Amino acid sequence: MTRSRRWARTWTVLRLAMAALIAAAVIAQAARTIGGAVASGGDVLTTAVNFFSFFTILSNVLSVVVLAWAGMWFWTRGTSDPAEPEPRVLATLLACATTYMIVTGIVYNTLLRSIALPQGTTVPWSNEILHVVGPVFLLADLLLGPRRRALPWRGVAEIVVVPLAWVVYTLVRGPLTTNPVSGQPFWYPYPFLNPNSFEDGYVTVAVYVVGIAVVIALAAWLVVGVGRRRAQSAASDREAETAATTAD
């Protein structure tokens, strides 16, 4: 079923719809966060940069771009040949978005969901889309999406590069940024990356970073592995169909 033209068209519509839904969620939360800074006369520039420094936001923005690209590619190029896989660059970015969204869902729902936030700082429906609905859809896309290209195993390393760069950026920028809300001389997007939250400072942060890096690497390995398995299965089915047609 997942290799038929009808399924490809149906899932492409779902990809575009999810891209629009995630974009709406990001915009709604950005309006609440940045708009609040504007209304209170706060540091709007720092607030905006902080907003887009959250791994959740970066992952969701990437998902919007990649899902929209996948949808446009299908309607402009993919309908001509049902066996043609997605372009290599698109496949890599889709694998990145899938991995990051899976990790976002895992980290938020295991480490962050129970943390109380100031009333009115989050948009409830947006929060659920960014941390639950989006990750679940990207996981489903890995299993059910059409035209998934098999990536080489080095794709795991390619996927891990961005989160590692983000961690470095976060830890370097954190002590150099004044919190625009509390006035503290530091700002970190997540409490487990804030060395000021722990008695042993960066030691505990390092433990969290290593743990999350392992989760990201495992998720990337899973995403690449499933993509390779699905591509191999599709190729075997096509060979069987060709052999059966030749025999007839």
Read off the pLDDT of residues 180-225 as tens digits, 9 standing for 90 and up: 988 999 999 999 999 999 999 999 999 999 999 999 999 999 999 9
Residue 220, CB half-sphere, CA atoms under 13 Å: how many? Answer: 23
Neighbours of 31 (CB within 10 A): 13
Q: Is 112:190 a contact under the CB 8 Å cutoff?
A: yes
Burial of 148 from C-beta contacts in 10 A (0-12 / 13-18 / 19+): buried
Q: What is the pLDDT of residue 152?
A: 93
Q: How far apart are the first and last CA of the chain?
A: 24
> Which pLDDT tens digit goes with each residue over 9-54?
999 999 999 999 999 999 999 999 999 999 989 899 999 999 999 9
| Structure tokens, 121 | 């700082």
Domain that holds residue 209: 5-247
Question: Residue 122 and residue 188: Cα distance in Å, rounded?
Answer: 17
186 contacts 196 by C-beta, under 8 angstroms: yes
Indicate the number of domains in the chain.
Answer: 1
What is the identity of the amino acid at 183?
G
User: 142 with 227: CB under 8 angstroms?
Assistant: yes
The answer to whether 219 and 96 are in contact (CB under 8 A) is no
Tell me what percent of the residues of the chain surpass a pLDDT of 90.
71
**Could you tell me which residues come within 8 angstroms of residue 215 by beta carbon, excluding any fewer than 6 positions away?**
103, 106, 107
Is the pLDDT at 238 greater than 60? The verdict is no
Q: 80-94, 112-126, 143-157, 227-241 — which one is most confidently predicted on average?
A: 143-157
What's the confidence (pLDDT) of residue 164?
94
| Closest residue by Cα to residue 74 from 118, 9, 165, 7 | 9
Mean pLDDT across the stretch 83-99?
A: 89
Does residue 99 surpass a pLDDT of 70?
A: yes
Q: What is the spatial distance between Cα 11 and Cα 160, in angstroms, rounded to a whole number?
A: 27
